[in-house]
Amino acid sequence: MIFDEVFERFARRSPLTVMTRAIMEHALDSKALDVLFDQIADRQYTRTLLFSSIVELMTIVVCNKISVRRAFKRIEERGRIEVTLQAVYDKLDRLETKFSQALVRHFASRLTPVIEGMGGAVEPWLPGYRVKVMDGNHIAATDHRLEVLRKHGAGALPGFAVVVLDPRLQMAIDVFPEEDGHAQERSLTEAILATVEPRDVWIDDRNFCTSQLLLGIAKKGAFFVTRQHKANAPWKPTGPLKECGSIETGTVFEQDGVIYDPALKKNVDVRRITVRLKKATRDNDRELHILTNLPQEVSALTVAGLYRKRWTIETAFQEMERALGGEVATLGYPKAALFAFCVALAAYNVYATLKASLRAVHGEQKVQDEVSGYEIAADVALDYNGMDVAIPSEMWERYQDMNATQFGNWLVAIAGNVNMKYIKKAKRGPKKPKPKPKFDPKHPHVSTARLLAARHASRKAKK
């Protein structure tokens, strides 16, 4: 058939685009999403606008960095939605945050066995444990379109979310959305503790360092590696300070101690790992204090190295910001803004699966050193719309029913067509500090053409 020929042509010439659409189709599984919505809905219900249709629309918004209105027109003209734009906005504004969380979890559960099956996971940070990196993200301030915001000059924060990254999968596996934009990480303690499992290792910054969270993690047979917050987790030493060696950033020391919670009347034995830094942090700290309840066989040097890798989640946020439009300035209602952010997390997991397939073909080190997530997104965006028009949606439905092994094998086969030079990271040397030119208000503008002509004349005269 002609469509098979078109599909094969795209698979050869734009394999990342084909893989992205196939991964989305496999992960979305519209029937499963609508069943999921019905299972967890309390007050909301479905009439005409399906949950899967909202997810599809918002995926177009975040992946193409366009407005909801423009994405709506795109799928409306292709007959994939049968409601008004106002009905879409109403649905977004009332979409409970538990649906946003469920979407991220659904994508993670669908794509994890695919990554595992094709051997695309990276080497574990700590063999024998499941490491989880956690960080909070305040959604960027929105436009003042809502009536309640018009009298306020301050930036409007539509929400806050704590994201959990699995570094072995390089994927966001969970999220804890909170509508209050001024909320802090500790306000989500109970929700986070409900997901802790034995032999987890939770790595996080000092905003999570509370005795309630740390004792709760330990109680569940799990472990933490967290930067010490002096006020929120009282720590008392019970042993001498011992030097343990050096890492790239400084000298490492270790000291036994205990964290005590007066309210709970409980304590937990910990080690405090101190890194005396060669170079001060941006907050001018010369020492980092890291608390952990990992057993002694996990050395202080290993713990210090684990905490240093925590910046992996910061890199993930940066990639999301550059490649995806997850923070939509026009979505002022907290529920809508948080849903857009969680759709971006789900889309990030699609790109994580793409990278996993490349690791399965080219090896972990090559992909880590050379592949740019931003370049992958740019490459996909270049051909995606044309492919969407050329290939009917029915041809993608087969990827919904594939099991993880079948789909993983197919991804690896297509990944072999990827030309790695087009998705390479741009490498540059260190920036040299340059003096800032002085601004002359008497001459606010210059002619670029005249300056170039003067430079050309000067070079010609020297010859």
Per residue in 314-337, pLDDT (tens digit) is: 778 777 777 777 777 777 788 888
Spell out the SS3 assignment of 288-318. Answer: EEEEECCCCCCCHHHHHHHHHCCHHHHHHHH
Confidence of residue 108 (pLDDT cuts 50, 70, 90): very high
Looking at the domain assignment, is residue 68 inside a domain?
Answer: yes
Q: Is 451 in a helix, a strand, or coil?
A: helix
Q: Which helix or strand (DSSP H or E) is residue 360 part of?
A: helix 334-362
Residue 201: per-residue pLDDT:
97
Cβ count within 10 A of residue 316: 22
- Angle (CA) 293 171 136, round 5°: 60
Kindly report the backbone phi and psi dihedral angles of residue 264, in degrees, each rounded to the nearest multiple of 5, phi listed first: -85, -15
CA distances from 348 to 27, 63, 112, 127 (A): 12, 9, 13, 25
Which of these ranges, 13-27, 39-53, 352-366, 414-428, has the smallest mean pLDDT?
Answer: 39-53
Q: What's the domain count of the chain? A: 1
122 belongs to a structural domain: yes
* Residue 133 within any structural domain of the chain: yes
Average pLDDT of every residue of the chain: 86
Helix (H, G, I), strand (E, B) or coil at 231: coil
Confidence of residue 146 (pLDDT cuts 50, 70, 90): confident
Whether 339 is in a domain gets the answer yes
Please give the average per-residue pLDDT across 186-202, as a whole number. Answer: 94
Percentage of the chain modeled with pLDDT above 90: 37
Question: How far from 114 is each of 34, 213, 300, 443, CA to CA, in Å?
Answer: 22, 32, 34, 61
pLDDT value of residue 227: 92
List, in sequence order, every residue forming a beta bridge with 254; answer none if it has no partner: 242, 273
Q: Over 60: is that where the pLDDT of 164 sits?
A: yes
Instruction: Output 31 or 97, whichever has higher pLDDT.
Output: 97
CA distances from 42 to 37, 87, 96, 309 (A): 10, 19, 9, 40
Closest Cα to residue 115, out of 27, 12, 240, 210? 27
**Pairwise CA distance, residues 450 & 58, whole Å:** 48
Residue pair 305/249 in contact (Cβ under 8 Å)? The answer is: no
Q: What is the pLDDT of residues 215-233, one digit of tens each?
A: 999 999 999 999 998 778 8
Residue 223 backbone phi and psi in degrees, to 5: -135, 160
| More confident position, 299 or 66 | 299
One DSSP character per residue, 375-389 reads: HHHHHHHHHHHHHHH
Asked, for residue 326, whether it belongs to a domain, the answer is: yes
User: What confidence category does residue 423 fall into, taking pLDDT thresholds of 50, 70 and 90?
Assistant: confident
What is the 3-state composition of the chain as percent helix, strand, coil, each rounded to the nearest 5?
50, 15, 35
Decide if 288 is inside a domain: no
pTM of the predicted protein model: 0.86
Around 463, how many Cα atoms within 13 Å sit in the side-chain half-sphere?
6
Give the DSSP H or E segment for 145.
none
Domain that holds residue 78: 2-205+310-403+407-412
353 located within any domain: yes
Three-state secondary-structure class, residue 138: strand
Q: Which two tokens stand for residue 397?
A: 């439905």
Smallest CA-to-CA distance from 300 within 250, 233, 235, 230 is with 250
183 in Cβ contact with 190 (< 8 Å): no
User: How large is the greatest C-alpha to C-alpha distance in the chain, in angstroms?
Assistant: 84
Helices (H) and strands (E) in the chain, counts: 17, 10
Instruction: Answer yes or no: is pLDDT of 186 > 60.
Output: yes
Pick from 175, 179, 192: nearest CA to 344: 175
What letters, b where the CB count within 10 A reaches 16 and e where it falls short, cover 356-390? bbbbbbbebeebeeebbbbbbbebbeebbeebbee
In a domain, 116, yes or no: yes
